[in-house]
């Protein structure tokens, strides 16, 4: 092939070839760079979304166990010596390794994890009598009542030793000497209750269908020798009809709660031991009451009846004042058969109820919820909730022992206890309370997030109430009226305000502003009025000034003339405030607030937070709002002005509506900032989780609550997880606000897209 | 000399040709204007006759818009503007510092080069001016809106969608809406700064037709780069150059027989 390439190339000019090639390679490089930049941006965005999602996953992962339903499984069942004695005749050790039952003549230990059985230990001193009733006076302390009217004390303990790193449990028991409660030793003891109080033990025994005897032992210190014990025995009068079917003493020995075959619940007041008397009674049921039990803390009474109903009762001040009465708090899920046993958890307000047909319910006293229903063997006679609330041991009439493992780490948390009002012990009605820790072991944790959400919204509300008008008016002034040369300074200064660490603001608010505000509250409330009046007067005077004088001031800088006016207004307002306080409020506004309006005054209150948080929020709202106002096309302003509108009319009717998407998002971003703000609310309020609208009281915000309590919360505990739930709520709140803001903004923007 | 012939061909046959019998609406006397140190208008004197269309032509940057904006004092909004000389509209001096500019602007309406409807409904765009003036009753506003839209030759096109956003109108419709908006407050003078520069020939023709219609009730001052347009619609034309009003007179005379060499150069396309 004889192709003359030279000829082919002939006509083409040589010179432009190189620049063209160069530009092509440059273009290739540009495309490559472009592609990489785009990828980098996408990667960054994906990373951000992924990390936010990861945070969300962690939070949800921590929260989720709170709402997981309780679970239980039956681990073993074993036969023990014989049928249990009536009453609290079953118990288990802390580790659920060894259970014990009390039969008609002996104490029987049974290992739960391994097979076999310990030899039965006969109860000493029975002298041929049988054990007819068992009452538990404290953990592991039982009172055994005999068929001949005597009582034997029994103390069961488990000694824990560690051998070669292994736990070895040795059961121990100690029997007391029998004491006769029926002097003639004829009547059998049907039911027993006992308690050891500070002043000595009390034992109440039922010796006939309607006969109760109470033995109190008072220890008297002797000058020489051992203290003398003086026992006294008295019969308790029964003033209701029917037979006694259940009773129990509270842990302080103050009250005896008694149930009858007619469904009556009677409270005996034992505070005066020489004169026990029935204090009040309530009709609980039409069926016989088969069970009375106290929850941990001895404030709540569980009552079960022959029809299977379970309810809790508390001693509350009666509505019209007067003596406290037993009041029904919750009804629990019904059993299908008579309730035979109830055992409280020793760490919270949970309890187990068992019925004669083998139904086992796991209930929670605070929430009134039945968390778990189990089917055990029929004919249950006794049940005990393990000391760590992680297991149940039941015994049936045939002497069969069942061991259940319960997994329910957060019994006190349901959606209702976190958000709805809850009837806590000692409260007159259901309320929203946050109180995560208390001084005593039987403290009832109160995990209502509602007051915290309320606090967050309250703080945000007051902050926005303060910040939004100021920031928006400032933005409007700066963008529409201020001289550009002044604006060039004002805007960056306000933006620097946004960089102020909130801990500094919080510190100033708590330690400087709060005491200051406290002194000038009346003046503070007069301030807006007085300032407005002063500024309006100043404006009026300004208009009256001859034109020649007015021209001295450059347009757009008139605002500086207002500075002395504002200062004078503040001085006037605080002066007037003092006057008003002396003249109208009796010299002390706090006293007046309390007596006239019923408002209490805290030094660190919502007003202080509103102002301090307002300062944190103002720069954000101002900056974004000002930007969007300034971005309103100039030709719209010109159009309005050319129609004879004043600048003010133009600003209000044209600029403001056109900038509304930006202004809306400014407010929403301010809202989001205020919701999440922690340090200011932490330092400038008293952090009391109260729920009221009073501007002079403090509050506790979700964010501050997490900051305050998380260091104290044991990992994995209910408090820990509830704090994560609070964090989750915060997340949702800001997410919702931002989403709504974005949606509204997009809608508004679409409306103005042709501008 | 081709251009003058062309322009002469588009001259408005209805334009008045006898300048001496007109009543002046706007009288400008020795007006000079400085943007800071830069002088934008030099000693401009002229009068705009009532119920006529007066056009300003001239190369870009010669001060036409500046002169127009002096008539409703929109230049006040520019920082560092200084003027000397006087402008009278309807016999009263508008430069009086004590004078309410909003009142002046109600009497001197303005239509801008780029149509600038407010981001509101068509109805609200027209009603804006009357509302500012304090018209509150819906019935009154309805009447004004209809009248203004009819005057702006837009009524037929938008009467069914008065509630729709004005931003959804076409460019020409938007510009007519702006004209309607300006005449809704019933001004004496209507200023138009290159009202058709962003429009296609058909929309332009509509607006030009509209101007001829409107001059029966309003005094119109228009700035345009399009000499044919000036020739078509205006009765009087002023030629400006470097802030100076070089020549001002009856349109026909200015285009067919310019007195100044610079005018002639400009209209024959020799510069600009
Ligand atoms: N706001 C302003 N600040 C400073 N100088 C300005 C301002 N407006 C206009 N000028 C100057 O004044 C001169 C006249 O401007 P003007 O806008 O009146 O011109 P024009 O004749 O309308 O031009 P065009 O035909 O391009 O619209 C120009 O040199 C311009 O740079
Ligand atoms: Mg111009």
Alpha-carbon distance of B230 to B251, in angstroms, equals 8
CB A702 within 8 A of CB A734: no
Residue carrying the six token digits 């002469």: B8
Single pTM value for the model: 0.82
Half-sphere exposure of A643 (CA within 13 A, CB side): 31
Q: Which of A484, A551, A635 sits opposite B112 (nearest CB)?
A: A635
Q: Which of B77, B114, B128 sits opposite A643 (nearest CB)?
A: B128
A 10 A CB-CB count for B157 gives 16
Q: Under DSSP, is residue A79 helix (H, G, I), strand (E, B) or coil?
A: strand
Q: Is residue A674 located within the same domain as residue A603?
A: yes
pLDDT band at B178 (very low <50, low <70, confident <90, very high): very high
Minimal CA–CA distance to A423: which of A496, A503, A368, A473? A368
Spell out a b/e string for A226-238, using b for 16 or more CB atoms within 10 Å of the CB, else e: eeeeeeebeebeb
Q: Do B182 and A635 touch (CB under 8 A)?
A: no
Structural domain of residue A606, as residue ranges?
465-700
Spell out a b/e string for B242-251, using b for 16 or more CB atoms within 10 Å of the CB, else e: ebbbbbbbbb
Alpha-carbon distance B180 to nearest alpha carbon in chain A (angstroms): 11
Domain for residue A710, yes or no? Answer: no
pLDDT of residue A304: 93
Alpha-carbon distance of A388 to A676, in angstroms, equals 38
Q: Is residue A291 located within the same domain as residue A334?
A: yes
Ligand at shortest distance from the CA of B243: 1
**What end-to-end distance do the CA atoms of chain A give, in Å?**
66
Q: Is residue A341 located within the same domain as residue A204?
A: yes
- Strand residues in A226-299 grouped as ranges (E): 228-236, 244-249, 255-260, 264-269, 277-283, 289-294
Minimal CA–CA distance to A300: which of A317, A314, A280? A314
Q: Under DSSP, is residue A73 helix (H, G, I), strand (E, B) or coil?
A: strand
Which residues in B lie closer than 8 A to residue A755 (C-beta atoms)?
A: 119, 167
- Residue A382 pairs with which residues in a beta bridge? A395
User: With an 8 Å Cβ cutoff, is B129 touching chain A?
Assistant: yes
A 10 A CB-CB count for A740 gives 13
Domain for residue A397, yes or no? Answer: yes
Which domain-ending residue is among A677, A700, A723?
Answer: A700
Is residue B116 pLDDT above 60, yes or no?
A: yes
Ligand 2 centroid vs B69 CA: distance in angstroms? 10
pLDDT band at B223 (very low <50, low <70, confident <90, very high): very high
Total structural domains within chain A: 2
CB neighbours of A580 closer than 8 A, spacing ≥ 6? Answer: A522, A526
CB A108 within 8 A of CB A123: no
Which domain-ending residue is among A681, A700, A719?
Answer: A700
Is residue B7 pLDDT above 60, yes or no?
A: no
Q: Is residue A429 located within the same domain as residue A535?
A: no
Q: Is residue A289 located within the same domain as residue A182?
A: yes
Domain for residue A460, yes or no? Answer: no
User: With an 8 Å Cβ cutoff, is A636 touching chain B?
Assistant: yes
Q: Is residue A513 located within the same domain as residue A652?
A: yes
Q: Do A644 and B103 touch (CB under 8 A)?
A: yes
Interface A–B counts its CB contacts (< 8 A) at 77
Looking at residues B234-242, what average pLDDT do you find?
91
Higher-scoring residue by pLDDT: B132, A218:
B132
pLDDT of residue A754: 58
Minimal CA–CA distance to A302: which of A347, A260, A350? A350
Minimal CA–CA distance to B49: which of B252, B243, B237, B262? B237
Domain boundaries, chain B: 3-10+22-116+189-267
What distances in angstroms separate CA A737 from CA A165, A464, A498, A673, A731, one per listed residue? 56, 14, 21, 10, 10
Which residues in B lie closer than 8 A to residue A644 (C-beta atoms)?
A: 102-106, 129, 132-133, 185
Alpha-carbon distance of B223 to B61, in angstroms, equals 12
DSSP A320-349: TSSSEEEEEEEEPPPPSS-EEEEEE-SSSS
Closest protein CA for atom 1 of ligand 1: B78
Is residue B20 pLDDT above 60, yes or no?
A: no
* Residue A34 CA to its chain's centroid (Å): 52
- Residue A208 pairs with which residues in a beta bridge? A211
This model of the complex carries an ipTM of 0.90
Best of B70, B108, B116, B167 to disrupt the A interface by mutation (most A CBs within 10 Å)? B116
Q: Is residue A126 located within the same domain as residue A183?
A: yes
Which residues have their alpha-adjacent CB atom under 5 A from ion ligand 2?
B 65
pLDDT band at B55 (very low <50, low <70, confident <90, very high): very high
pLDDT of residue A585: 80
Which residues in A lie closer than 8 A to residue B129 (C-beta atoms)?
A: 643-645
Alpha-carbon distance of A618 to B177, in angstroms, equals 39
CB neighbours of A327 closer than 8 A, spacing ≥ 6? Answer: A313, A314, A315, A316
Q: Is residue A503 located within the same domain as residue A550?
A: yes
Q: Do A643 and B109 touch (CB under 8 A)?
A: yes
10 Å CB burial of residue A544 (0-12, 13-18, 19+) is exposed
pLDDT of residue A6: 45
Minimal CA–CA distance to B252: which of B52, B11, B1, B58? B11
CB A181 within 8 A of CB A207: yes
Ligand 1 centroid vs A639 CA: distance in angstroms? 18
Q: Is residue A527 located within the same domain as residue A583?
A: yes
Q: Do A753 and B181 touch (CB under 8 A)?
A: no
Ligand at shortest distance from the CA of B225: 1
Q: Is residue A221 located within the same domain as residue A295?
A: yes
The DSSP output letter for A487 is: H
Q: Chain B: residue nearest A639 by CA?
A: B116
Ligand at shortest distance from the CA of B240: 1
The DSSP output letter for A735 is: H
What distances in angstroms separate CA A739 from CA A157, A245, A677, A726, A736, one per listed residue? 60, 61, 19, 20, 5
Q: Chain A: residue nearest B96 by CA?
A: A547
Ligand at shortest distance from the CA of B38: 1
- Residue B83 pairs with which residues in a beta bridge? B33
Q: Is residue A414 located within the same domain as residue A505?
A: no
pLDDT of residue A18: 55
pLDDT of residue B114: 87
Alpha-carbon distance of A669 to A177, in angstroms, equals 76
Domain for residue A409, yes or no? Answer: yes
Closest protein CA for atom 31 of ligand 1: B61
Q: Which of A642, A653, A754 sits opposite B109 (nearest CB)?
A: A642
Closest protein CA for atom 5 of ligand 1: B35
Closest protein CA for atom 3 of ligand 1: B35
Ranges in chain A, pLDDT < 70: 1-22, 221-222, 438-442, 556, 753-755
Q: Is residue A205 located within the same domain as residue A327?
A: yes
User: With an 8 Å Cβ cutoff, is B106 touching chain A?
Assistant: yes
pLDDT of residue A64: 92
Domain B3-10+22-116+189-267 has CATH 3.40.50.300: yes
């Amino acid at each position: 092939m004889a192709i003359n390439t030279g000829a082919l190339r002939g006509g083409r000019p040589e010179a432009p070839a190189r620049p063209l090639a160069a530009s092509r390679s440059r273009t290739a490089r540009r495309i490559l760079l472009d592609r990489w930049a785009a990828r980098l941006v996408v990667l960054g965005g994906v990373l951000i979304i992924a990390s936010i999602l990861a945070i969300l996953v962690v939070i949800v992962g921590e929260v989720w166990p709170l709402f997981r339903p309780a679970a239980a499984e039956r681990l073993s069942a074993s036969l023990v010596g014989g049928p249990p004695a009536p009453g609290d005749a079953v118990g288990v050790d802390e580790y659920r390794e060894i259970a014990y039952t009390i039969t008609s003549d002996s104490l029987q230990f049974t290992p739960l994890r391994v097979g076999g059985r310990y030899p039965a230990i006969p109860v000493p001193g029975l002298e041929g009598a049988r054990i007819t009733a068992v009452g538990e006076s404290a953990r592991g302390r039982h009172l055994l009542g005999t068929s001949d009217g005597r009582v034997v004390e029994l103390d069961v303990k488990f000694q824990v030793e560690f051998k070669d790193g292994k736990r070895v449990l040795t059961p121990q028991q100690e029997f007391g000497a029998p004491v006769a409660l029926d002097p003639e030793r004829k009547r059998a003891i049907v039911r027993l209750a006992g308690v050891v109080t500070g002043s000595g033990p009390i034992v109440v025994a039922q010796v006939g269908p309607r006969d109760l005897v109470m033995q109190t032992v008072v220890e008297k210190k002797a000058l020489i020798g051992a203290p003398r014990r003086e026992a006294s025995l008295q019969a308790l009068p029964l003033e209701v009809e029917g037979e006694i079917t259940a009773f129990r003493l509270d842990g302080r020995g103050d009250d005896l709660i008694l149930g009858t075959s007619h469904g009556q619940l009677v409270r005996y007041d034992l505070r005066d031991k020489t004169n026990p008397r029935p204090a009040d009674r309530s009709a609980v049921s039409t069926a016989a009451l088969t069970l009375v039990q106290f929850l941990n803390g001895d404030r709540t009474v569980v009552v079960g009846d022959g029809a299977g109903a379970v309810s809790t009762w508390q001693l509350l001040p009666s509505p019209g004042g007067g003596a406290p009465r037993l009041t029904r708090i919750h009804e629990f899920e019904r059993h299908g058969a008579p309730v035979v046993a109830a055992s409280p958890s020793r760490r919270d307000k949970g309890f187990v109820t068992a019925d004669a047909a083998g139904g086992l319910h796991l209930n929670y006293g605070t929430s009134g919820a039945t968390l778990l229903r189990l089917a055990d063997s029929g004919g249950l006679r006794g049940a005990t909730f393990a000391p760590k609330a992680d297991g149940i041991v039941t015994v049936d009439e045939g002497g069969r022992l069942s061991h259940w493992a319960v997994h329910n780490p957060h019994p006190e948390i349901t959606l209702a206890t976190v958000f709805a009002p809850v009837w806590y012990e000692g409260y007159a009605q259901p309320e929203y309370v946050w109180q995560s820790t208390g001084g005593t072991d039987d403290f009832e944790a109160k995990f209502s997030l509602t007051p915290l959400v309320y606090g967050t919204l309250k703080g945000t509300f007051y902050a926005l109430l303060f910040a939004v008008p100021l920031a928006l008016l400032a933005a409007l002034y700066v963008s529409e009226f201020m001289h550009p040369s002044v604006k060039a300074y004002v805007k960056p200064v306000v933006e620097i305000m946004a960089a102020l660490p909130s801990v500094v603001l919080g510190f100033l608010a708590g330690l400087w502003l709060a005491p200051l505000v406290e002194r000038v509250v009346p003046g503070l409330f007069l301030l807006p009025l007085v300032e407005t009046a002063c500024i309006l007067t100043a404006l009026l005077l300004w208009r009256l000034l001859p034109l020649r004088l007015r021209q001295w001031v450059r347009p757009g800088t008139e605002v500086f003339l207002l500075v002395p006016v504002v200062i004078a207004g503040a001085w006037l307002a605080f002066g007037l405030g003092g006057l008003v306080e002396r003249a109208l409020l009796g010299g002390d506004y706090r006293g007046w607030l309390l007596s006239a309006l019923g408002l209490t005054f805290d030094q660190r209150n919502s007003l202080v937070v509103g102002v301090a948080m307002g300062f944190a929020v103002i720069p954000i709202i101002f900056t974004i709002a000002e930007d969007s106002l300034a971005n309103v096309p100039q030709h719209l302003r010109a159009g309005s002005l050319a129609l004879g509108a004043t600048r003010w009319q133009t600003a209000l009717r044209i600029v403001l509506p056109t900038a509304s998407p930006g202004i809306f998002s400014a407010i929403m971003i301010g809202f989001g900032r205020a919701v999440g703000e922690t340090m200011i609310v932490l330092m400038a309020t008293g952090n009391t989780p109260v729920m009221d609208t009073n501007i002079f009281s403090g509050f506790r915000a979700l964010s501050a609550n997490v900051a305050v309590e998380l260091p104290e919360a044991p990992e994995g505990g209910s408090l820990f997880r509830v704090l994560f739930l609070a964090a989750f709520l915060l997340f949702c709140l800001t997410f919702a606000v931002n989403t709504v803001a974005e949606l509204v903004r997009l809608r508004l923007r679409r409306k103005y897209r042709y501008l | 000399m081709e251009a003058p012939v062309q322009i002469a061909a588009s001259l408005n046959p209805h334009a008045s040709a006898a300048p001496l019998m007109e009543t002046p609406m706007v009288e400008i006397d020795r007006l000079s204007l400085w943007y800071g140190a830069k002088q934008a208008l030099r000693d401009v004197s002229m009068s705009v006759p009532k119920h006529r269309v007066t056009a300003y032509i001239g190369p870009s940057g010669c001060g036409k818009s500046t002169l127009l904006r002096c008539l409703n004092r929109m230049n006040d909004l520019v920082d560092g503007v200084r003027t000397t000389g006087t402008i009278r509209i309807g016999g009263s001096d508008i430069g009086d510092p004590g004078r309410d500019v909003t009142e002046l602007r109600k009497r001197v309406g303005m239509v801008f080069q780029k149509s600038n409807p407010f981001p509101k409904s068509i109805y609200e765009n027209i009603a804006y001016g009357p509302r500012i003036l304090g018209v509150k009753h819906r019935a009154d506003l309805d009447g004004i809106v209809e009248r203004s839209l009819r005057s702006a030759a837009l009524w037929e096109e938008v009467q069914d969608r008065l509630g729709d956003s004005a931003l959804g109108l076409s460019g020409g419709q938007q510009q007519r809406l702006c004209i309607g908006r300006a005449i809704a407050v019933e001004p004496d003078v209507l200023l138009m700064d290159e009202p058709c520069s962003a429009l296609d020939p058909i929309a332009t023709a509509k607006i030009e037709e509209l101007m001829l219609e409107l001059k029966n009730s309003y005094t119109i001052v228009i700035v345009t780069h399009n000499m044919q347009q000036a020739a078509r619609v205006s009765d009087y034309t002023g030629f400006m150059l470097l802030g100076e009003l070089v020549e001002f007179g009856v349109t026909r005379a200015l285009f067919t027989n310019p007195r100044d060499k610079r005018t002639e150069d400009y209209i024959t396309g020799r510069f600009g």
